[in-house]
């Protein structure tokens, strides 16, 4: 298989889904987030010298990992994402072993997942890469807006819940631990300062 051509077809397919007239427009789970995850998954995979197949796998997983949101799912949206990915890649004659690995990568992004393989850990870290950057301060508001839009009950104190999320989170790869630790600590301190202002 020509993996470069294959990932272009995946990108076109997923992009068309997000841009479709009937698709919902979410503040956070949108095409921009997906594109960022693809970018960061590729960055991390290249750091670990992944071959063309490995790059294709994490990129395909990144493109598909959140499409379940487009079909109304919030909890367990990863399962709906896997089904859409399997249907598309099976029709494209992608090997079942590769499809299974992409599935594992997508499911590694589930809350509470414990990814064992490096490729799964890369996918998990790419999805939460923003926790260690200044962009988190924007995305955190986007997530809140989206929950309100989707009529999902918010925590009693959004700032406290956001702080707890970052404090409980750990990056799985040594690359992200090294590159993003300081940024995440800055975001934790920022949230702590916001909490103090509320007192």
The rounded distance, in Å, linking the Cα atoms of 150 and 110 is 19
What is the CATH topology of the domain spanning 1-115?
Cyclin A; domain 1 (1.10.472)
Residue carrying structure tokens 């992200």:
176
122 vs 76, more confident: 122
Find tokens 């790419």 and name the residue. 126
High-pLDDT (> 90) share of the chain, %: 89
Model confidence pLDDT, tens digit, residues 74-116 = 788 999 999 999 999 999 999 999 999 999 999 999 988 889 9
Predicted confidence at residue 199, as pLDDT, reads 66
pTM score of the predicted model: 0.95
Compute the distance between CA of residue 27 and CA of residue 145 in angstroms, rounded to an integer: 7
Q: What is the pLDDT of residue 76?
A: 86
| pLDDT computed for residue 2 by the predictor | 74
Residue 4 pLDDT > 80: no
Confidence check: pLDDT of 73 > 80: no
* Residue 150 DSSP class: T
Instruction: Please provide the average confidence, as pLDDT, over all residues in the chain.
Output: 95
pLDDT tens by residue, 19-69: 998 999 999 999 999 999 999 999 999 999 999 999 999 999 999 999 999
The first and second tokens of residue 140, run together, are 């955190």
Average pLDDT over residues 120-128: 97
User: What is the pLDDT confidence band of residue 5, given thresholds at 50, 70 and 90?
Assistant: confident
How many residues would you count in the chain? 199
Residue-wise pLDDT for 143-188, tens only, equals 999 999 999 999 999 999 999 999 999 999 999 999 999 999 999 9
pLDDT computed for residue 168 by the predictor: 96
CB proximity list for 133: less than 8 A, separation 6 or greater? 180, 183
**Where exactly are the structural domains of the chain?**
1-115, 128-199
């Amino acid at each position: 298989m020509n993996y470069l051509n294959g990932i272009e077809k995946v990108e076109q397919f997923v992009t068309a889904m997000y841009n479709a007239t009937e698709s919902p427009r979410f503040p956070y789970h949108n095409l921009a987030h997906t594109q960022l995850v693809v970018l960061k998954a590729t960055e991390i995979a290249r750091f670990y010298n992944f071959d063309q197949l490995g790059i294709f796998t994490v990129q395909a997983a990144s493109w598909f990992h959140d499409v379940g949101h487009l079909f109304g799912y919030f909890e367990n949206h990863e399962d709906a994402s896997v089904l859409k990915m399997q249907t598309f890649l099976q029709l494209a004659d992608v090997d079942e072993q590769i499809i299974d690995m992409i599935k594992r990568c997508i499911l590694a992004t589930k809350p509470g997942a414990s990814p064992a393989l490096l490729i799964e850990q890369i996918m998990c870290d790419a999805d939460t890469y923003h926790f260690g950057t200044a962009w988190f301060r924007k995305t955190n508001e986007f997530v809140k807006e989206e929950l309100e839009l989707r009529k999902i009950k918010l925590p009693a104190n959004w700032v406290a819940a956001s702080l707890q999320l970052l404090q409980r989170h750990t990056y799985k790869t040594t690359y992200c631990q090294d590159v993003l630790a300081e940024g995440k600590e800055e975001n934790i301190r920022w949230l702590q300062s916001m909490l103090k202002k509320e007192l």
